Amino acid sequence: MSLNTPHVIERMLGLSGIDTSSHLTSFILFNLAKNPDVQDKLYEEVQRQLPTKESKLDKNALDKMPYLRAVVKESLRVTPPVALMARKLEHPLELGGFKCPENVVYCPAHWHMSNNDR
Protein backbone atom coordinates (compact mmCIF):
# COMPACT_ATOMS: atom_id res chain seq x y z
CA MET A 1 0.00 0.00 0.00
CA SER A 2 1.43 3.35 -0.98
CA LEU A 3 0.72 6.31 1.27
CA ASN A 4 -0.06 9.75 -0.07
CA THR A 5 -0.24 12.96 1.98
CA PRO A 6 -3.86 12.50 3.18
CA HIS A 7 -3.08 8.93 4.30
CA VAL A 8 0.00 10.12 6.23
CA ILE A 9 -2.00 12.92 7.90
CA GLU A 10 -4.77 10.49 8.76
CA ARG A 11 -2.30 8.08 10.36
CA MET A 12 -0.50 10.85 12.23
CA LEU A 13 -3.76 12.19 13.67
CA GLY A 14 -4.80 8.71 14.70
CA LEU A 15 -8.02 8.80 12.68
CA SER A 16 -7.36 5.51 10.97
CA GLY A 17 -8.89 2.47 12.63
CA ILE A 18 -11.29 4.32 14.92
CA ASP A 19 -14.25 2.08 15.53
CA THR A 20 -17.02 4.64 15.26
CA SER A 21 -19.78 2.10 15.97
CA SER A 22 -18.34 1.12 19.34
CA HIS A 23 -17.65 4.79 20.11
CA LEU A 24 -21.26 5.69 19.36
CA THR A 25 -22.64 2.79 21.39
CA SER A 26 -20.37 3.56 24.35
CA PHE A 27 -21.29 7.23 24.40
CA ILE A 28 -25.02 6.53 24.02
CA LEU A 29 -24.78 4.33 27.13
CA PHE A 30 -22.66 6.96 28.91
CA ASN A 31 -25.09 9.76 28.04
CA LEU A 32 -28.08 7.64 29.10
CA ALA A 33 -26.39 6.87 32.43
CA LYS A 34 -25.92 10.60 32.99
CA ASN A 35 -29.58 11.27 32.15
CA PRO A 36 -31.78 8.66 33.88
CA ASP A 37 -34.99 10.46 32.87
CA VAL A 38 -34.01 10.09 29.20
CA GLN A 39 -33.03 6.47 29.84
CA ASP A 40 -36.45 5.75 31.39
CA LYS A 41 -38.33 7.40 28.51
CA LEU A 42 -36.27 5.47 25.95
CA TYR A 43 -36.82 2.20 27.85
CA GLU A 44 -40.58 2.77 27.80
CA GLU A 45 -40.56 3.45 24.05
CA VAL A 46 -38.51 0.30 23.34
CA GLN A 47 -40.77 -1.79 25.60
CA ARG A 48 -43.86 -0.58 23.72
CA GLN A 49 -42.38 -1.62 20.36
CA LEU A 50 -40.56 -4.76 21.52
CA PRO A 51 -42.68 -6.11 24.40
CA THR A 52 -41.40 -9.72 24.35
CA LYS A 53 -38.14 -11.53 23.70
CA GLU A 54 -39.68 -12.81 20.48
CA SER A 55 -40.41 -9.28 19.17
CA LYS A 56 -38.54 -8.50 15.98
CA LEU A 57 -36.26 -5.49 15.75
CA ASP A 58 -36.76 -4.46 12.14
CA LYS A 59 -37.20 -1.29 10.11
CA ASN A 60 -40.90 -1.14 10.96
CA ALA A 61 -40.16 -1.25 14.70
CA LEU A 62 -37.36 1.31 14.37
CA ASP A 63 -39.63 3.66 12.42
CA LYS A 64 -42.00 3.65 15.42
CA MET A 65 -39.24 4.73 17.83
CA PRO A 66 -38.63 8.45 17.22
CA TYR A 67 -37.18 8.95 20.69
CA LEU A 68 -34.50 6.33 19.98
CA ARG A 69 -33.59 8.22 16.81
CA ALA A 70 -33.41 11.46 18.81
CA VAL A 71 -31.18 9.85 21.46
CA VAL A 72 -28.77 8.58 18.78
CA LYS A 73 -28.66 11.96 17.02
CA GLU A 74 -28.13 13.88 20.26
CA SER A 75 -25.33 11.54 21.29
CA LEU A 76 -23.68 12.08 17.90
CA ARG A 77 -24.03 15.84 18.40
CA VAL A 78 -22.54 16.05 21.90
CA THR A 79 -19.93 13.29 21.46
CA PRO A 80 -19.11 12.89 17.75
CA PRO A 81 -17.01 9.83 16.88
CA VAL A 82 -14.48 11.99 15.04
CA ALA A 83 -13.49 15.45 16.31
CA LEU A 84 -12.62 16.73 12.87
CA MET A 85 -12.36 15.50 9.32
CA ALA A 86 -10.21 16.84 6.48
CA ARG A 87 -11.61 17.30 3.00
CA LYS A 88 -9.99 18.85 -0.06
CA LEU A 89 -12.41 21.30 -1.65
CA GLU A 90 -13.13 20.50 -5.29
CA HIS A 91 -14.95 23.81 -5.77
CA PRO A 92 -14.75 27.23 -4.08
CA LEU A 93 -16.86 27.44 -0.92
CA GLU A 94 -18.17 30.35 1.12
CA LEU A 95 -18.85 29.78 4.83
CA GLY A 96 -20.17 32.59 6.97
CA GLY A 97 -18.65 35.20 4.69
CA PHE A 98 -15.26 33.47 4.50
CA LYS A 99 -14.24 32.44 1.00
CA CYS A 100 -12.34 29.19 0.63
CA PRO A 101 -10.74 28.58 -2.78
CA GLU A 102 -10.76 25.19 -4.45
CA ASN A 103 -7.97 22.70 -3.63
CA VAL A 104 -7.80 23.95 -0.04
CA VAL A 105 -7.94 21.35 2.71
CA TYR A 106 -10.97 22.14 4.87
CA CYS A 107 -11.12 20.65 8.39
CA PRO A 108 -14.53 21.15 10.00
CA ALA A 109 -14.31 20.67 13.78
CA HIS A 110 -17.48 18.63 14.37
CA TRP A 111 -17.41 18.75 18.15
CA HIS A 112 -16.93 22.51 18.25
CA MET A 113 -19.65 23.16 15.66
CA SER A 114 -22.10 20.88 17.46
CA ASN A 115 -21.45 22.32 20.90
CA ASN A 116 -21.04 26.02 20.12
CA ASP A 117 -23.95 28.24 21.16
CA ARG A 118 -23.64 30.26 17.95
Name the amino acid, one letter, at 57: L
- Overall average pLDDT of the 73-78 stretch: 89
Task: Check: CB of residue 23 under 8 Å from CB of residue 83.
Answer: no
Task: Check: CB of residue 88 under 8 Å from CB of residue 105.
Answer: yes
Checking if the pLDDT of 50 tops 70, the result is yes
What is the percent of the chain with per-residue pLDDT over 70, rounded to a whole number?
85
Task: Name the average pLDDT for the chain.
Answer: 84
Give residue 2's pLDDT.
54
pLDDT band per the 50, 70, 90 thresholds, residue 19: confident
Beta-carbon-side half-sphere exposure of residue 7 (alpha carbons within 13 Å): 4
